Structure 1
Amino acid sequence: MTYDLLLTGAAQGDLAVRDGVIVAVGADLPRDARHVVDVSGRLLTPGLIDLHTHVGPGYWAIDPDPIAWYSGVTTWVDAGSAGAYTLAGLRRVAAEAAVRVPALLNISAIGLAGRTGENRDLANCDTALAIDTIQAHRDLIRGIKVRIDAEAVGVNGVEPLRRGLAAATTCGVPVMVHIGTAPPALDEVLDLLRPGDIVTHCASGIAAPLGPAVRAAAERGVLLDLGHGSGGFAFDVLEAQLDAGLRPNTISTDLHARSLHGPVFDLPTTMAKLLAVGVPLADVIAAVTENPARVLGLPGGTLRVGGPADFAIFEVRAEEFAVTDAHRQVRTSPVRLVNEATYVGGRLLTPRLPAPPAPWIPLTQAQHAALARREHHIRDLLATPLVDVDGLAEQFPRTNPRSS
């Protein structure tokens, strides 16, 4: 019985893959495999699941594949980029991506075509249309996303959330709610949420969710998601929550065109921010694997037989790693997680170069300069011959070679 892939030397034992599925886990599995990869001394995790990303379409969109191969993220939950009117665009992204792209449908039918304001016209927040869209796309849609802050809703307060909750209740799916600048008041938002619903940007320095309503929501089963983003995470808020016995159920990036080049960068860097405030590594890994899988009923998140062969292999570098939040507060992680390989369905993701930032994305001069340096280094690397003469073989030897 030949395996397609065999990972050996992992703390969990050997893992064997056939047809994109884990078929055996145990000590000293037969080495009868097309590809054998020794992961001794490395951290093997299930493929990481990022519960809050924006991979298209619209203002915030990024291409996931050029980031996935070096970050270990195999499942990118698109959190509301598309509404009913724009879902076809997200379907194309999901179909073409090497990674998995489940979605949360934006209650606003226009989705995030622009920077904000999608809930200002309640005609776009059509509950019946959202229900019909979810029912017709159950293979793709796992929940509903509603952004509730002053810019997104205008004078409409929590009404878009009420409509999202009504659609979610009918369809039996959770709601993820974005919190930010009031009005509406944070307590008014939290009090509407049901067990299994998700508050993203749960350690926001802008929304500052530290009052009794946050504890009450968590105690009745509302889930807390980090949702870092460009402005959704503050170390001091997270530390106050941890001191109060509250911890994010899931760690997500809210990775998008404005946060990709900082302050987020990628999910392993975001994970290091939780390590920097004392969350144990095992809990951090659970918050990006089994926990998000459970929240949305996604495949993966574990290394059990019968699950998809989604893996991430990391070097755990025992070195101090300075990390920053959305407000330039700095903490230091005791270790750095460096991805060495990422597999989706048993297939190794190969390197891809990211596209340059869209012209509307604001970047500092330092970010522009760093991007220019990176482009120079890549160009120089690829323009340099791969090996010298000693690394070559004569592919088509002469039959009668002349003397040199």
Structure 2
Amino acid sequence: MWDLLVKGGRLLDPADDRDGVADLAVHRGRIVEIADTLDERSAAETVDATGLLVVPGLVDIHAHLSPGTGYWGLDPETLAWRTGVTTWVDAGSVGAFGLSGLRALTRPTELTITALINVSSIGIPGETGEHHDLANLDVDLAHRVAAAHGDFVSGVKARIDRRTVGDHGIEPLRRGLDLAERLGRPLMVHVGYGPPTITEILPLLREGDLLTHCASGSPDDLLRDGRVNPVVLEAAQRGVRFDLGHGSGALDFEVLEAELAAGIRPTISTDLHAVSAHGPAFDMPTVMEKMLAVGWTLEEVVRAATIAPAQSLGLAAGTLGVGARADIAIFDVTAEDHPVVDVHRQQRTSPARLRNVLTLAAGAPLTEKAPARSAPWVPRSPAQRTAEHETFTELRQSTTPRLHAATDFPEPYPRATGRGATDKE
């Protein structure tokens, strides 16, 4: 007997080279069988996925998941249930001082959550500046704290741009590399306006380390005369991984298209936080549509949002293989040309819309949860303010239905009609 049967959907699982209509059975939170046809009489529940796309639960390796504790944090449960993301990685919101708090905050969830520990002990409590005081970059302390949290720490994060490092140049990166080496984990490096420059940063990264914001227009030396900087190509050949990290300011279509033309294949991540969740990133399906807009196939997009990011951090996620945890995302894919924008308001045309229909974590539907209102420090345009107001108006109306007709309600306990009537009538 199965707990759940997902029937008749297009199963697209790049990790298993699977793409075709099939049924998928779940028992005790694991995928136990996949076949062309499975008998729904053997399942306690059946989800009819006919005409829909069934993929592994999406894996977002760059987000900020500490709501109410700093400038950037948001609650992933308000997004996961409606976007298909079941595995989240907090990318450096906290360092040694805050790691226990983040773990406690994220423990009571159906989602899979790990963290990249910030090399700065204070993490990112404000907009930037966590590396201005090198006393906060205590590698010995960070190593002890991270080691005590085991697999909850999947890597190290260092933000390396001129606003964050101040006068310390490349030194915070060197300490981040030292910490990553001690932990035996990859280092994810954020880049922005230099100095330090890409030319200074990339030669220091090791095989398996990640450059996030890889298609940003902020570093002025990712491209040279419209072509990919040779130091970027050399890093890719050496095994450095590239990650999108869309965020509020890190997707430039021209940079991305130049990198794709040069053969660089980034993982897809959102860099979702309290600001970017209002746009232009919004959520993982939106970012995936932007990758369709620059010419990727649906299979390439799903791979870059599932198994590829999972493998980059050694996470047990991103697959529909038999025996895997039953993290499943079901989408309605509609062929429809529509404009998408990068952070500089450049437009491209996506050929399809991805609308999440159902998200399952360990075989169970994720709990629906409305987002909180924006924090007062989050900058929003008039259009964003209007959209947020309309969202909460709609939520309020949808949670207080007004039904009046007698036929709108069942009558489970009819009135007794005569002496001797029982409660079974």
User: Normalised by the shorter chain, which TM-score bucket?
Assistant: over 0.9
Secondary structure of the residue aligned to 1:309 is coil
Q: How does 1:87-236 map to 2 (within 5 A)?
A: 87-208=99-220, 209-210=222-223, 211-236=229-254
Cα drift, residue 388 of structure 1: 4.2
* 1:28 alignment counterpart: 37
Q: Deviations over 1:343-365 (max 9, x none)?
A: 00111013211100111111111
**What TM-score do you get using the length of structure 1 for normalisation?**
0.96
Q: Deviations over 1:230-284 (max 9, x none)?
A: 1111111111212222231x00000000100011100000000010010111011
* 1:50 alignment counterpart: 60
Aligned length: 399
Distance in 2, matches of 1:285 and 1:386, equals 42
Of 279, 284, 287, the residue aligned with 1:267 is: 284
Of 15, 19, 23, the residue aligned with 2:28 is: 19
**What TM-score do you get using the length of structure 2 for normalisation?**
0.91
Relative distance call for 1:6 and 1:121 in structure 2 (3 A) is same
The residue type paired with residue 174 of structure 2 is R
Contact 1:64 1:97 in 2 (8 A): no
* 2:259 alignment counterpart: 241
Distance in 2, matches of 1:27 and 1:173, equals 40
Distance in 2, matches of 1:332 and 1:279, equals 12
Distance in 2, matches of 1:65 and 1:171, equals 29
Relative distance call for 1:322 and 1:389 in structure 2 (3 A) is farther
Larger mean Cα displacement after TM superposition, 199-208 or 377-386: 377-386
Secondary structure of the residue aligned to 1:36 is strand
Percent identity over paired residues: 51
Which has the larger strand fraction?
2
Secondary structure of the residue aligned to 2:81 is helix
Relative distance call for 1:388 and 1:319 in structure 2 (3 A) is farther
The residue type paired with residue 242 of structure 1 is L
* 2:3 alignment counterpart: 4
Mark the runs of 5 or more structure 2 residues left unpaired by the alignment. 12-21, 224-228, 419-425
Cα drift, residue 378 of structure 1: 2.1
Relative distance call for 1:23 and 1:324 in structure 2 (3 A) is same
Q: Deviations over 1:367-388 (max 9, x none)?
A: 1111111222222233332684
Distance in 2, matches of 1:256 and 1:389, equals 46
Q: How does 1:363-402 map to 2 (within 5 A)?
A: 363-385=380-402, 388-400=405-417
Relative distance call for 1:159 and 1:334 in structure 2 (3 A) is same
Mark the runs of 5 or more structure 1 residues left unpaired by the alignment. none
- Cα RMSD, aligned residues only: 1.3
Query: Is 2:342 aligned against 1:325?
Result: yes
Query: Is 2:294 aligned against 1:285?
Result: no
Distance in 1, matches of 2:285 and 2:405, equals 35
Distance in 2, matches of 1:386 and 1:99, equals 35
Cα drift, residue 389 of structure 1: 3.1
Query: Is 2:48 aligned against 1:38?
Result: yes
* 1:69 alignment counterpart: 81
Relative distance call for 1:68 and 1:126 in structure 2 (3 A) is same
Secondary structure of the residue aligned to 1:135 is helix
